[in-house]
Structures are given as C-alpha cells and as structure tokens.
Amino acid sequence: MPPRTRTPAGGGGGQGFGIEIETGREVARVAAELRAIDKKAPTRFRAELRKAAAAGVKKVKSEVKQVPAKGAGGGTKQHPHKRGQLRRTVARGVRARASTKSGLRIVTAMPEPNQKVIPRALDSRIRQGGWRHPVFGNREAWATQTTGGSWFLEPLGEMRSQVLGNVRKVLDGAAEQVAKAGE
C-alpha cells in the first residue's frame, strides 16, 4: 500500500494539529522485525523517521515565523509584548513524532491548553475568514484577525514528496538490516 498523508480533523487529544504520514502496516511490521534482531533497533528506527521529516519541520517553522502580523505595543512595564513572540512560540511547538505503531506525524503543540487553537487559527487554509478572540479577555469586545497565507498545510504539501522519499529510504534501510540479520 502506498504511503498517504492525512490531516486529523479534530486535532485529537493533543494541543495542536498536524500532518500524519501513514505507511499502512509497514512501519509496525518493520519495527517488529527490527525488535527481533535488536531490542534497541526500534528506538533508532523512530529517530531515523524523525530525521526523515526534519526538512518539513524546518520549512514549517520558517514559514510560521514569517506570518505577517500587525502587532501593537502593549503589555505592562514588567511584561511588555515582544514582536513575533506568538509566532516563535508556535514554531517552537512544531515537531515530528514517530511511533512504531502509527508511523510519522508532524504536529504542533502549544505550552498552554487554552492556546491549542492558535496554530490552526494562524493557518489561512484552515480558517479562511480569520479568527476571533476577545480583546484582552474582554468578552464584550471582540477582534477578528487574519494571517495572509498557509504556514503549515501548504508548505508541507509542497514538501510531501521529499519527506515521503526520506521515509521510504529509512524503511528500505531497515528492511536491508532485517535481511542481513536473516542471512
């Protein structure tokens, strides 16, 4: 079965959203065969899968830092707002997750549970009309913000063939390792 990509609709139980590269049962099968050879091999296999997605992760982090923002000074003297702080926080939360059961995912996460919608809201391909929020917590005054482009889905879509090629190389390398051990 060829690899495919999937965008989780609800974001699952995590605090963000992501792209998942599904390779069917192939990842689980290869991991089980590697485990039979060496107990630590699946750990190295997951690390290699994360490295395979590194180009996509790097691209997405770069894109979110370039999302146009019309910020205004604010905050307090003790805690002033810093330019680009939200975009940097979102970029820090982008990572590749590899599992021997579910394959490879490129996901976002925010430090606070109440911020989990922010990465999704910043991507204009998901939220075409922008996003609304109360102004400084005032539920009587709401603001609508837009971004200006897709920072997550479109760049990852452009990187899809490269990331899938990298994943295929990792799977092929693991298959060779299993074949050599079986000789």
> Is 88 within the bounds of a domain?
yes
> Is 72 within the bounds of a domain?
no
What is the chain's Cα-based Rg? 20
> Is 46 within the bounds of a domain?
yes
User: Does residue 94 register a pLDDT over 80?
Assistant: yes
In the structure, how many helices (H) and strands (E) does the chain have?
6, 6
* Average pLDDT of every residue of the chain: 79
> Is 57 within the bounds of a domain?
yes
User: Does residue 60 register a pLDDT over 90?
Assistant: yes
> Is 123 within the bounds of a domain?
no
- pLDDT at position 34 is 85
Residues 6+ positions from 105 with CB-CB distance below 8 Å: 18, 19, 20, 21, 96, 97, 98, 99
> Is 41 within the bounds of a domain?
yes
Mean pLDDT within 51-62: 94
Number of domains in the chain: 1
In which domain, by residue range, is 38 found? Answer: 4-62+79-115+152-182
Cα(45)–Cα(40) distance, rounded to whole angstroms?
Answer: 9
> Is 26 within the bounds of a domain?
yes
> Is 14 within the bounds of a domain?
yes
Per-residue pLDDT tens digits for 110-122: 999 888 888 888 8
pLDDT band (50, 70, 90) for residue 3: very low
